[in-house]
Chain A
């Protein structure tokens, strides 16, 4: 987390626009941030542009969406105007993404072990044997107790928490520098959520990776990340150290925090968020 090391990911004035019948819809407006060897969280409600930001960095914004940025770099690689071929060389090996629900993100007709091994062969090379060994080691790294047995299972045979650990294993096997996790634990039970986050944390720290955690859950991001970016209507309205989220100053962040039910402070009525159109303005 030293300030002098060059950032793993640099984004400056990122805009994502989708053409619509009544003019363009700007999903992401002038988003700027850098990511070092740390954990940065993006929080916001549905439609705030947090997932689109992650997808833009991965080169996964579908046509006819348009991406513009003053700067968008992965290490020294310029991501602006990179071709699909160029992105394919980066994805998996240098930057990877964990999605919300392993039920949909894993191939249902391939054993989980083969899926992990396939990633290894595609990005690292080497033979089938080496890939199998690497996949088994990776399953062990995500704390799966019996890797040999789980290797041969199909996605429908594993639980949600195990599926998400399989996803993490698959995403980390080629040793990327940056991991983008889009609601990685939202589909999981609370107690399993904690376990998966612990696994993610251990690997991201151990390998000196950068993690961009996208979530709607303020408490989760505050407890897990180093820094938090709060998005509203496509814009970053507040950026603060995660430990200081409770002292956030933007009325949107304050409104969100206040509207959460709290086990320790039971109130009859929760304060409702009053949206101010000015928040969407720069």
Chain B
């Protein structure tokens, strides 16, 4: 569903040119959940933005649902992939109601039947008519993230990108949002690509995990291998050892 072939993203030019993502190749099958971990500055969020088409990639190809993405994406291509951001306090317009936030993607994609779609999207994420005409400041952090998920899913994309979707939330709310994502993924056969710095969160949702460091994908592994400490790259090992609650030993090669 997602196929990346030697994708690089660069910013700036000349002496100030900076390579944020270098030569990343990746395959995520339909219905699979793939997690990307790494420290700040490792390029994981930039890679996500390149897949979403929010930043252009300098080299390589991004293929979504069997179509290579052109530099400027047509409307139909943009419907393939939607994104949920880290901070629900920042990603919702403070002067727009939930209803307006959900109506915008429908307008962009020229989808009719807004009334029904908005009500269904809210119901889907566990919100009701009572929340529809509220402003973001009248919602809790968890409710806001539910609105952000509803906004992403309202155009029924096959691919959902998640950039640290729970790191701004309390752990009890994090559990609710992770459960919601698990359920939505099953019901809609979604392909998920999630970025997080929290290995336990990644391993919870994603069976396959990629580790990024300085723009490169240094290791691809599975949640099962992480749990058993069967990892190869020293950076993966360092991340694993820094995970609170990690009690096992990390096997050396």
Q: Which of B141, B171, B204 contacts A256 (CB 8 A)?
A: B171
Does any Cβ of B come within 8 Å of A109's Cβ?
no
Q: Which residues of B contact A259 (CB under 8 A)?
A: 171-172, 174-175
Q: Which residues of B contact A260 (CB under 8 A)?
A: 171, 175, 200, 245
B106 contacts chain A at the CB level, 8 A cutoff: no
Whether A68 is near chain B, meaning CB under 8 Å from some CB there, is no
Contact between B171 and A216, CB atoms less than 8 A apart: yes
A262: CB under 8 A from chain B? Answer: yes
Docked-complex contact A45 and B242, CB < 8 angstroms: no
**Is B66 an interface position by the 8 A CB rule?**
no
Contact code string B212-253 (vs A, CB < 8 Å = 1, else 0):
000000000001001100000000001101111111100000
Q: Check B204 against A266 for contact (C-beta < 8 Å).
A: yes
The answer to whether A263 and B242 touch across the interface, beta carbons within 8 angstroms, is no
- Knowing A191-B242, A218-B171, the reply to whether A261 touches B201 (Cβ < 8 A) is yes
Which residues on the B side are within 8 Å of A219 (C-beta)?
Answer: 244-245
Nearest CB in chain A: distance from B232 CB, A: 17
In the assembled complex, A189 has its CB within 8 A of some CB on chain B: yes
> Once bound together, how far apart are the Cα atoms of A218 and B227, in whole Å?
20
- B59 within 8 A of partner (CB): no
A133 within 8 A of B: no
Taking residues whose C-beta sits less than 8 angstroms from the other chain, chain B's interface range is 20 to 34
Contact B238 A191 (CB under 8 A): yes
- Residue in B40, B170, B174, B248 whose CB lies within 8 Å of A189: B40
Interface residues of A in 233-282 (CB under 8 A from B): 255-256, 259-264, 266-273
Whole-angstrom distance between the Cβ of A9 and the nearest chain B Cβ: 26
Chain B interface mostly? helix
Q: Is A34 an interface residue (CB 8 A)?
A: no
Q: Report the bound CA distance from A72 to B242 in whole Å.
A: 37
Q: Which bracket fits the contact residues of A? A: 20 to 34
Cα distance A122–B242 in the bound complex, in angstroms: 38
* Chain A 44-63 residues near chain B, CB threshold 8 A: 45-46
Choose, from B96-104, B131-139, B146-154, B176-184, the stretch at the interface: B176-184
Residues of A within 8 Å of B239, CB to CB, are 190-191
Whether B172 contacts A272 by the Cβ 8 Å rule is yes
> Contact check: which of B227, B242, B248 meets A190 at CB < 8 Å?
B242
B246 touches A263 (CB 8 A): yes
Q: Flag whether A115 is at the interface (Cβ < 8 A).
A: no
Q: Inside 8 A of B23's CB, which chain A residues have their CB? A: none
Chain A residue at minimum C-beta to C-beta distance from B172: A273
Q: Is B63 an interface residue (CB 8 A)?
A: no
- With an 8 A cutoff between CB atoms, is B92 at the interface? no
Please name all residues of chain A whose beta carbon is closer than 8 Å to the beta carbon of B171 when the two chains form the complex.
Answer: 45, 216, 218, 256, 259-260
Q: Is A190 in contact with B200, judged by CB distance below 8 angstroms?
A: no
Closest partner residue, chain B, to A270 (CB atom):
B175
Q: Is B39 an interface residue (CB 8 A)?
A: yes
| B1 close to chain A: CB less than 8 A | no
- CB <8 Å contact, B39 and A189: yes
Given contacts A46-B141, A189-B197, 5 further A-B contacts (CB under 8 A): A46-B170, A194-B241, A259-B172, A269-B179, A269-B182
Which residues of A are interface residues toward B (Cβ below 8 A)? Answer: 45-46, 160, 189-194, 216-220, 223, 255-256, 259-264, 266-273
